[in-house]
Structure 1
Amino acid sequence: MLVIWGRINSHNVKKVMWGAIECGLAYERREMGGSFGYTPEYLAKNPNRLVPMIEDGEVAVWESNAILRYLAAAHAPALWPADPAARAMGDQWMDWQFLYADAQRDAFLGCVRGGKDGSDPVVAKSAETCAALMAMLDDRLARTPFLTGTAFGIADIPMGTYAHTWFSLPIERPSLPHVEAWMDRLRQRPGFQTIAAVPFT
């Protein structure tokens, strides 16, 4: 059985849980990171002192988006296009998600961990930066229903996880009709419903 190491309220752990469900894989999640700390055995396989990491038989993989690519390639190739151009189109949005995550950090920490809202200057600045990035995502989704193209794929999981947080924070958001329609499509997926049910704190 697939083992997912990581605390459940980590965005990156949620991404991997969602990916495992989309790949039709049963998994066991084991606590690691945050208040749970890191064991020497874990660090021997993942020296980054970060979560998540997976163990799939004898294979250990860390870095959440690398894990998603591995899971699709090994267990659900339809979720990661074989055509190099189509694959690159999805991959670029998976990597872009880390830029977005940096922009959202202050809004997330301020609202979820600090009890603030969009009236806080630091939160407001973070939200403004996020809005500009989300406008880029909206433009992309005006042309295809998913970041992978015409069908759902692993490229939708990273930003789908962070967009769920974006729509949950007490901040002002511009109208982003294509992102909102995309989120409506993602909300129908069992994997999304699993991670959406996890409290942020």
Structure 2
Amino acid sequence: MDLIVAGSKDGLVMVEAGAKEWAGQMGVLEAHLAANGPYVMGKDFTIGDIPVGLVVNRWFSIPFQKPEFKAVSGYYDRLAQRQPYRAHGRNGTP
């Protein structure tokens, strides 16, 4: 793993590449939720939503330009209606 140095051209390239890869993976989740949602395994919240929900929280918490994923946004909103997710998955934010 390479060290990303703030302000370096190589560091910026690596960050942009990582963001592009992450967006691709979120696109996979978008397609899955749109076809099979509202939760990861279908109509009910399951243990599988816990790790995915943490990734989705990180996605929305980090400020960078990202594509709009309506199914992922809806999923995030549904998770946020769950008090345990607000307390633990969103670091106590509403």
TM-score exceeds 0.5: yes
Amino acid aligned to 2:15: V
Contact 1:124 1:171 in 2 (8 A): no
Matched, 1:169 2:62: yes
Q: Which residue of 1 aligns with 2:24?
A: 132
Residue 154 of structure 1: which of 47, 66, 71 is its match?
Answer: 47
Which structure features the higher share of helix residues?
A: 2
Which structure: larger Rg? 1
Percent identity reads: 32
Amino acid aligned to 1:129: E
Tell me the alpha carbon deviations over residues 48-102 of structure 1, each in whole angstroms, 9 at most, x when there is no partner: xxxxxxxxxxxxxxxxxxxxxxxxxxxxxxxxxxxxxxxxxxxxxxxxxxxxxxx
C-alpha RMSD of the superposition: 2.1
Q: Which consecutive unaligned segments of at least 5 residues does structure 1 have?
A: 1-109
Query: Structure 2-normalised TM-score?
Result: 0.78
Amino acid aligned to 1:145: P
Q: Which consecutive unaligned segments of at least 5 residues does structure 2 have?
A: none
Contact 1:148 1:154 in 2 (8 A): no
Q: What count of residue pairs does the alignment treat as equivalent?
A: 83
Aligned partners of 1:122 and 1:159: how far apart in 2? 24
Q: Which residue of 2 aligns with 1:97?
A: none
Pairwise mapping of residues 49-198 of structure 1 onto structure 2 (< 5 A)? 120-143=12-35, 144-195=37-88, 196-197=90-91
Aligned partners of 2:43 and 2:34: how far apart in 1? 12
Kindly state the Cα deviation for residue 121 of structure 1 after the two structures are TM-superposed: 2.2
Amino acid aligned to 1:137: L
Kindly state the Cα deviation for residue 148 of structure 1 after the two structures are TM-superposed: 1.7
